[in-house]
Structure 1
Amino acid sequence: MTSVPRGPLAGIRIVEIDAIGPVPLAAMVMADMGADIVRIARRAPTGAQVWNDVGGAVLYRSRSHVALDLKLPAERDALLDLIDRADGLIEGFRPGVMERLGLGPDVVLARNPRLVFGRMTGWGQAGPMAMRAGHDINYLSLTGALHAIGDPGAPPTVPLNLVGDYGGGTMFLVAGMLAGFLSAQRTGEGQVVDAAITDGVGTMLSLFYAWLPTGHWADERASNLLDGGAPFYRCYTCADGRHVAVGCLEPQFFAEMIAGLGLEERGLVQADRAGWPAMEAELAAVFATRPRDEWAQMFAATDACVTPVLSLREAVNHRQATERSSFTVRDGIAQAAPAPRFSATPAVIGSDGETGLSAVIDRWAR
């Protein structure tokens, strides 16, 4: 019986240089897909190891960890030997740090011409902001995304770090690495992938930048179809203080929502923007008459696009998640199962833990 490879990236070898934000999640995604990834964590000259930090129980899964002090020539040279055997490398330092460590693209690509060198930053490798510090909220602020999220008359709402770090960062780094691997397999030549969160978020905003000059999008918060301005695409407070999400954009779904609320005779016109404030007030009043879960049950078998707003703990136990096995429990921690799903080479969570660099080099030499 032929064994099935663990994930579609089985056989791909990646060196991950310790970082925060988008890099560890990108490594987790590719490791879940079967890539053999070794995470190079920092080690102080005293030998103190710091690789198992907060979040590592989930974000560092499916791969091994090696603690090194890259300022020591012998340990840096050992890492170069490992990179010589790798298909890819990902790092999240500010521009120039890898070069100062003697691990820049000019060095490693000269030694391993087929290597795909992934660089993850907030601002990119060039430009007036390239050397400045920043975090998710700062990157969103310069793309227009942060300005567009929140209530009118109030400061913009911080959308967790899903939009910047993980959307504009992780997912574009993963896409860039996969494209780089395909190109290297075809041409035998690697390259540098310059992934910047601001670039990725700007790309994700393409629809809204397309709408802006046409008048389909106003450059003001909560005044548009998808930003909470529409009464049929927003959240409402229920009788128990919890919330439901309403997303009935299409007329037929809007009609189902109105019927479920018993408002068919009110003559509410979905496309009448002038009537949106009055419609919102009416919907808010009705949703406030019942608790969240009662509304959820009433709308569960409809296409009204009304769903409960679940907490993180509740989401893990929702029927859709449990029947699809969207979450798994590992070492006592509930976490997302590998995604996306593959029919021929299913992705699974692999083993992880600390190991020696020489053991990894020996394994990759085979």
Structure 2
Amino acid sequence: MQLLADLMSQAGYGVRRAPDGRMALISARSAPPDLVLLDVCMPGMDGYEVCRRLKADARTRDIPVIFLSALGDTQDKVHGFRAGGVDYIAKPYQPDEVLARTRAHLELHRLQAALEVRVEERTAQLRDAKRTIEASEARLRELAGFLQTVREEERARIARELHDELGQGLTALRIDLGRIRNKCGALGSPVGERVAAALSVVEQCVVSLRRISEDLRPAMLDSLGLAAAVEHHLAQFSERTGIACHLSMNREEFELEDRLATAVFRVVQEALTNVVRHAGASEVTVRIDECDDDGGGIRLSVEDDGRGFAAASERKSFGLLGMRERVGVLGGRLDIDSRPGEGTRIAAFLPLRGTASS
């Protein structure tokens, strides 16, 4: 081993010698070297055991170990590699071979360490980028929630103005035209037919105004609650489209905060709009349940027997994207199950105490 130490010193390497395995472990742990040239046959503890202990210690496990031994059969080499060695040089060794293998493993170790540093740096950069993205997403969800609140408030304001101002004006006009029609009819005036036609137009406008106001903000949602509003909307939807609707709820009424009740109603409303536009369905089933799952929440499903659609089409639907965003802002989740020719099922869960979903 003295010749080997001299060879390494002459090649410019700093060398520390240990007389046995125990001292080798103490030396390596106190000041970890860049590489260990380890004789297999040593007093007290053989080289394989020394290597295993080096690899079991976090301070020394990454140090490359090259075995030196007169035992050169295949089984001895396999034993060395299993113990954690990176190379095995059989005695008598050639100086050039020892130096070449030493240089190769030192360079490999250096490159590996540099790669690990780069990986750690890249991981830290990705972690920082992930935190930045998550913060941006949180701000976007907060903004989306604010915009939804503002949108609903604006819808409610417009609905009230339509009902209170335009609605009252149309009602007064309808009453006056009714009186004129009655007088003209009693006198047999030809103007009566024109008045009757005008009255019919006004009545159609009143009906349209009510429908628009309900679409903007259903008054029943504020006055009677979610259950009554959904039931009324389904009845109107069925009457208008001819599509049979079935409603199932496990509560006569749901005690929900306003934005949660509004979100459930809007998801039902948008899902039914999609049924009319795309599904070609003859039957729709809506189910709303309050449950204790995941800390308590509302489970909602809208299922139709229409033509269904492929998964790729989902990304192109603004209605479905809007539903996902509305549910996500409240910390919920929305799943869509649909295949061509097999109908569509939209299922949502909204927590009773929603927070923005990640």
The TM-score with structure 1 as length reference comes to 0.18
| Structure of greater Rg | 2
Task: Please identify which structure carries the higher helix content.
Answer: 2
Give the structure, 1 or 2, with the largest relative contact order (CA under 8 Å, sep 6 or more).
Answer: 1
The TM-score with structure 2 as length reference comes to 0.19
